[in-house]
A and B are shown apart, each in its own frame.
Chain A
Amino acid sequence: MRVLPFLLEIGTEEIPDRMLPEAVAQLRELFEKLLAENKLGGEVSLAEGTPRRLVLMAENIAARQPDSEDIIMGPPIAAGEAAVTGFAKRLGVDPSALERVQTPRGEYRAFRRRVRGRGAVEIFKEFLPGLILSISFPKTMYWTEKAGPRFVRPIRWIVALLGARIIPFEIAGVRSSNASSGHRQLGKAKVRVTIDTYLQALRDNFVLVSAQERRSRIKAGLEKAKPDLELLERLVYLTEYPTAVEGSFAPEFLALPEEVLITVMRRHQKYFSVLEPDGRLAPRFIMVMNTVEDPDGLVRRGNEHVLRARFNDARFFWEFDQRKKLAERVEDLKHVTFQAQLGSYFEKTSRMVELVRELGGSELAERAALLAKCDLTTEMVKEFTELQGVIGGLYAKSQGEPEAVWRAIYEHYQPVNIEDSIPSTLEGCLVSLADKLDTLRGCFAIGLVPSGSKDPFALRRAAQGAVKILVEGRLSLPVSRLIGPSEQLAEFFLDRVRYYFRDVRGFRYDEVNAVLASGWDDLPDVESRLLALQAVRPTENFEPLAASFKRIRNILKQAQFTGGVEIDGALFEEDAEQTLYEHYVAVRDAVQAGGMDYVRKLERIASLRPAVDQFFDKVLVNAPDEKVRFNRLALLHGLLSEFSTIADFSEIVTQ
């Protein structure tokens, strides 16, 4: 069988960097599916994307599908001559060419037709246009006319080759060909390619198709830079031929807070910051340009110029904002809406202060809550919204607020994501909690509940943050009081608790279920119980005991026994019953006595295993005598309820 290499390049206007990696992955997947569904064999050897192209290369593709056979069923054997000749005639074959086929419904006449495989070029020609347009993007456009095709950005050329042949098709007036295009400024607009020459031809025209190669090229210039993987990835997909260049700014700007400088450089200009050997910010930066060199220093000077203007703006905002202290801005929050039905940020602030007080916060924490949102009225935050909180903290610091206050303001949006750390002080944790809980309670109260991927108020993140703060801040505050009466919110919150322990902390799902089934009002305690359960689980007695607990639960359920019967020692008939009872009492008393940590308690509970095993070995719970039966059920019920306060063992999945 003849096999051929394949190349597809979709040439576009600049695709947003954030969408490229996903688009490349989709292209690969869709193409692999196309190969498989059409039995063309082959494997993808390269899938890449630059701002102006999505590229896919493959090897060993069959030039033609394998031939196949098709069985066309005709009339049953019992049918008359006329039906048979009619069938053969319709197919245009001689009746002698028919054969007999056995089916579950009896024997039939049938014709075995050989189907010649289609040529790969023909198949690609048919399916590639649909494949290309089915790559999905977060936002698409039309560019020819309203009814025209939609894609992420206009498609301007297409290279589609199988071996030496062009696979001919057309999308939005663009005909596929063997002409690619080089770098916008440095390369030729039209670059003829073959599959063999493609990568080199593009390199000669200043396009590095490989993301890994672009990454390495950027990294080579980042030795002195503050590591920033996210920015690095953005730049990999914003460039076709990246080159890092170092620039500098006037040291006088270092008087501005580092946070502001870094935000301007990183977010607004996509520069890497540079650190001095002692870790302080250096008055330099590294930019990555989409070109080969900057021989006259024009690009560097241009970027320095822009940065200077940006820093000047920031300095202007900083000085302007100092005219009015944060404390004088509380009233101004009346004009900043939090949410139409939930009122202004002034009202939110009042609720936060109240909540912080309820949570037992100090006066400093209350002060921080009062000032936390004031930076929303500053020019700096209007300009750099991502610095809200941080700017408030910096202003509070420069305006002489105590460290506990300014630090709490500074950190009160933390954690901003699941990897981020929680606020470093108790005051900060309380203000952050109050902020998040107020948002959660308020939104749930007016029916703004996240559904599916829709979560405009980022309530998942808020709840996740609250869980993280409670656990990692070791704050034993009653969750039920924090979240209020909404059952819907309780369920939502529990979901986040489960997610945190399972997906973030990596506890096994059945352990999380077991521990949460025993209560989750105190999250640090939940963590302690989980750690204990995790520690005791591998011990010899634990899983068999858990299996027995599951059995106990089923027995009680079947008997519809819900307690309320005193255990009467006189009704024990078997030694095994008596023994289990004695062990039960001893363990119960020891566990209740206190002074034991959860691990010790669980070990003690696990030590019941031989007695429980023996009980099930020797005793028939379903005794004919009702009194005896109820007594036995009462013993089992006691075991289950007394020893499920740390974790509900029956939730443990045993081998």
Chain B
Amino acid sequence: MAVRWDISRTMDSFQQILFKLKKYWADRGCVIQEPYDVEVGAGTMCPETFLRVLGPKPYRVAYVQPSRRPADGRYGENPNRLYKHWQLQVVLKPAPYDVMDQYLGSLKAIGIDLRKHDIRFEEDNWESPTLGAWGIGWQVMLDGLEVTQFTYFQQCGGIDLDVVPAELTYGLERLAAFLQSVESVYDIHWTPDVTYGDVRLEEERQFSIYSFETADVATIWQLFDLYENECRRLLASDHKRDVVLPAYDLVLKCSHLFNLLDSRGAISVTERVGVIGRVRRLAVGVAETWMQQFAEAQA
């Protein structure tokens, strides 16, 4: 596919957009983290969000997180749906008074003239049953396109939060496709010469084949059980407070395997609730242990 970089429009490449957003949030006191190295379905699931929002300690962090959703894979054939999409996750704890203005400022920073666009905050309360987490918020619509999920966290790991953080989750492919006016995410210019498709298309195709066709259901169930047992073992041990982070990695493993089984059509709706409950119990266990650890550090 021939790539034509339209220099007349001086638009940013995908990676320039990322650089600018990271810089913007770094300037506002955020730790710029790198992606977490365990498969996650969303940036929220990374310990940098899930565990850091617990307890009273202030924290600000931003990171790009490739997020895997096996059931959303489309073999690279659908212009908008991806097995793995990229989120920019920003957590501001506690939520600053002018958090909305700061958010809008980030859009300006990537070249969106707010006076020329339509921006709406439409009710959308986020909830993750597997993490025992929920929050109140909006989907941010930019000219009819959902570009960000904005959430005031209320609960995480089944625990009411002491301090309310604001979580901003940018859908980077959508945002880039919008800014570059391309029809398909695969046509996004990652750099002036390389497209998103060049970088990622084959990955989409192969992981779709795996998620929908070739993943061995029996093996995946076994892996799920193994990770679950290992996590339970850690949470039941005397040293659990010293291994809460490894335990949480195992929760993430289970969560991803659950998604994989789901996309293979291996989980009936009845079973579904039960399996979500199993992952959730682990997540809640980790959150509680984390809080105990914190309380002890205070004492």
Contacts and interface: CB of A to CB of B under 8 A. Distances in A.
Interface residues of A, number: 48
B162 A146 contact: yes
A303 B115 CA distance: 16
Interface in B52-101: 74, 77-81, 94-95, 97, 100-101
A145 B269 contact: no
Contacts of A295: 116
Given A144-B164, A145-B163, A308-B183, A299 B118 contact: yes
A334 to B, nearest CB: 8
B239 interface: no
Contact of B143 (A51, A298, A336): A298
A13 B183 contact: no
Contacts of B268: 335-337, 344
Contacts of B160: 146
B131 to A, nearest CB: 18
A628 to B, nearest CB: 72
A27 to B, nearest CB: 19
A156 B152 CA distance: 15
A340 B270 contact: yes
Interface string A171-191: 000000000000011100100
A461 B57 CA distance: 48
Given A14-B121, A145-B163, A290-B118, A302 B178 contact: yes
B16 interface: no
B106 interface: no
Nearest to A142: B164
Contacts of B74: 316
Nearest to A339: B270
A153 B137 CA distance: 8
Contact of A186 (B95, B104, B115, B178): B115
Contact of A185 (B79, B114, B269, B273): B114
Contact of A143 (B77, B95, B273): B95
A299 B143 contact: yes
Interface in A93-146: 139, 141-146
B144 A287 contact: yes
B167 to A, nearest CB: 13
Interface in B119-136: 119-123, 125, 136
A305 interface: yes
Contact of A142 (B77, B101, B121, B154): B154
A296 B116 contact: yes
A141 B165 CA distance: 12
Contacts of B142: 302
B143 A291 contact: no
Contacts of B100: 13, 184
A184 B80 CA distance: 30
Contacts of B163: 145-146
B143 A303 contact: yes
A309 B80 CA distance: 7
Contact of B138 (A14, A305, A312, A344): A14
B9 interface: no
A141 B154 contact: yes
Interface string A282-320: 000001011100111011011101111100110010000
Contacts of A184: 100, 104, 114, 119
A271 to B, nearest CB: 8
A344 B271 CA distance: 12
B220 interface: no
Nearest to B271: A337
B104 A309 contact: no
A309 B123 contact: no
A233 interface: no
Contacts of A153: 136
A474 B30 CA distance: 68
A322 interface: no
Interface in A1-46: 13-14, 16-18
Nearest to A376: B269
A391 to B, nearest CB: 19
A237 to B, nearest CB: 11
Contact of B183 (A296, A309, A340): A309
B161 A313 contact: no
B120 A290 contact: yes
B102 interface: no
A156 B114 CA distance: 21
A192 to B, nearest CB: 19
B116 A312 contact: no
A184 B74 CA distance: 38
Contacts of A313: 78, 80-81
Contacts of A185: 104, 114-115, 117, 119
B121 A51 contact: yes
A316 B75 CA distance: 12
A335 B265 contact: yes
A143 B96 CA distance: 10
A143 B161 CA distance: 10
A186 B136 CA distance: 26
B145 A302 contact: yes
B120 A238 contact: yes
A291 B118 contact: yes
A153 B95 CA distance: 13
Contact of A13 (B121, B181, B269): B121
Contacts of A291: 115, 117-118
A97 to B, nearest CB: 55
- B95, B125, B162, B269 — most chain A CB neighbours (10 Å): B269
Contacts of B181: 301, 305
A312 B80 contact: yes
Contacts of B119: 184-185, 290
Given A238-B120, A305-B178, 12 more contacts: A14-B138, A16-B122, A16-B123, A17-B122, A144-B164, A145-B162, A185-B114, A289-B143, A291-B115, A302-B118, A313-B80, A336-B268
Interface of B: 74, 77-81, 94-95, 97, 100-101, 104, 114-123, 125, 136, 138, 142-145, 152, 154, 160-164, 178, 181, 183, 265, 268-270, 273
Interface of A: 13-14, 16-18, 51, 139, 141-146, 153-154, 156, 184-186, 189, 238-239, 269, 287, 289-291, 294-296, 298-299, 301-303, 305-309, 312-313, 316, 335-337, 340, 344
23 contacts: A13-B121, A17-B122, A51-B121, A139-B125, A145-B94, A145-B163, A184-B100, A184-B119, A289-B143, A290-B118, A291-B118, A294-B118, A295-B116, A296-B116, A302-B145, A303-B144, A305-B178, A305-B181, A306-B143, A306-B144, A312-B79, A313-B80, A336-B269
Closest 6 CB pairs of A and B: A302-B143, A16-B123, A337-B269, A289-B118, A14-B121, A303-B144
